[in-house]
Amino acid sequence: MKVSEWKESVIDPSQIDKYLVDGEDFICEDTIKQQIKDGENPSDEYIEKIIQKALSVHTLAPEETAALLNVKSPQMWDKIFAAALELKKKVYDNRIVFFAPLYCSNLCVNNCEYCGFREKNCTEKRVILDSDHIKRETRSVLNEGHKRLILVFGEHPKSDIDYMIDAIKAVYDVEAEAPKSGKLANIRRVNINAAPMSIEKLQRLKETGIGTYQVFQETYHKKTYSEVHPKNTLKGDYHWRLYALHRAMEAGIDDVAIGALFGLYDWKFEVMGLLYHTLELENRFGVGPHTISFPRITPASGSDLSKNLPYQVSDEDFKKIVAILRLSVPTAGLIITARENPELKREVIKLGCTQTDASTRIGIGGYSDQLNQDKQQFTIGDPRDLDDVIQEVLKEGFIPSFCTAGYRCGRTGETIMGMLSHCVEGKFCKLNAVLTFKEYLYDYASEETRRLGEKVIEKELKEIHKEQYFIDHPKLTGKFDQQFHDITIGKRDRFI
């Protein structure tokens, strides 16, 4: 099929119109702007009430989030930042989940003005990895110690659903010996960052055993969206993208992830857009996003816009974005990526983030062959190896986690959201963090990381055996103790 013919077949208007209400979508720009304006100069008492509501693990109303966006007092921001970390620990405990992105192709039919992969970027060397190369990449990632991958695809007929399915199978087929112990390791869960698809294609994607399906709206502001995504491209259809995760839900993929690219439009508007997207999914399907991402645009080859952003977000405002999202959507995981430099990542992890990537290579073939590193979709700020990032996380008092248990135990969708809202899922997060990190220490860790890690695990074990929840559930604690022992005697892939 020719590229032009394929493009004509992608968008199905009937799979947009069914979600509209009286022909309108759920992003009302006038309402959002008015709410931000009305939220100016909030009283300290009102902000205190909002913080308490968030700490009770309830999604905030738009008016409440708008008030947070307008806080000016440094003292009140200190309270917001402290509450964000408290809330994160309450819902998710103190673990930080690690993953790696694997870019499979940079072929793309779109012309996003901020992206190095855009079709009109003639300086980009186009590469699409075959199954053997994907397996080599996977082995390289496994050698770092990762257990969770997110596969990233450009939008192109050569990397459509059949290619995605083959890529996922290739990843799951790989086993590699851990460098320290020689134990066999594999990727236990593949997440997907891919273009919007039809319900029929998404049903096929679900059958491969994916975890989370991630689609970023990029910007919720319609005029800006049309300016940076030309109308003659697939991505130029705002509504096809806006309702991508609705179709995923209908297809049975109940773990979905949203995000916005900060720097294209006013950051306060984008935060409100993310909240309205959350509320729409909650109201329509009973399940909000599993994760929210908030990357800032960084320079990309062949993109002038990425180097001259109209709405550059400062580090200070970026920290506010993270804290407000944590309070506004208490049950969502928050992902901080290697786009940001180590110093800022360290700060925002303490503001409610739950996941981060490490040892990130975004050139196609970048893990195994170091190919195409000079021409990338964007610039990363933190290229450190996984072990180095883990050391830093340990020094901050968090426990690294490689858990994929929720996907394999049925704790997804409504189930996990219910457990998160009742602060139960965090108990399982704690147990699985200890189990998977203990594996890492035996199989991959440097001597210094193992020394630091054993101290953190000792602290976690003491907390587990003292915490009332675990005392009240002796069978759960007993199972954990047995599985922890199993790992110490050489068994692997133990989870609760």
Looking at residue 376, its pLDDT comes to 57
Vertex 127: Cα angle to 108 and 188 (nearest 5): 90
What would be the CATH architecture of the domain defined by 3-24+94-409?
A: Alpha-Beta Barrel (3.20)
| Tokens encoding 229 | 């995504």
Q: How far apart are CA 213 and CA 199, in angstroms?
A: 13
Looking at residue 301, its pLDDT comes to 84
Q: How far is CA 266 from the centre of its chain?
A: 21
Which 3 state secondary structure label does DSSP give 119?
coil
Give the Å distances, CA to CA, from 212 to 72, 89, 146, 249, 257.
36, 22, 17, 11, 7
- Which stretches of 1-127 are DSSP H helices? 3-10, 14-17, 29-38, 44-55, 62-69, 74-92
Residues of the chain with CATH 3.20.20.70: 3-24+94-409
Tell me the pTM.
0.97
Give the Å distances, CA to CA, from 67 to 35, 39, 492.
8, 4, 48
Looking at residue 115, its pLDDT comes to 93
Please report, in tens digits, the pLDDT of each residue of the chain (496 residues total): 799 999 999 999 999 999 999 999 999 999 999 999 999 999 999 999 999 999 999 999 999 999 999 999 999 999 999 999 999 999 999 999 999 999 999 999 999 999 999 999 988 889 999 999 999 999 999 999 999 999 999 999 999 999 999 999 999 999 999 999 999 999 999 999 999 999 999 999 999 999 999 999 999 999 999 999 999 999 999 999 999 999 999 999 999 999 999 999 999 999 999 999 999 999 999 999 999 999 999 998 889 999 999 999 999 999 999 999 999 999 999 999 999 999 999 999 999 999 999 999 988 999 988 654 544 567 889 999 999 999 999 999 999 999 999 989 999 999 999 999 999 999 999 999 999 999 999 999 999 999 999 999 999 999 999 999 999 999 999 999 999 999 999 999 999 9
Looking at residue 394, its pLDDT comes to 98
Looking at residue 371, its pLDDT comes to 52
Looking at residue 132, its pLDDT comes to 97
Looking at residue 1, its pLDDT comes to 77
Looking at residue 256, its pLDDT comes to 98
Looking at residue 464, its pLDDT comes to 97
Give a three-class secondary structure readout of 195-231.
CCCCHHHHHHHHHCCEEEEECCCECCCHHHHHHHCCC
Looking at residue 280, its pLDDT comes to 98
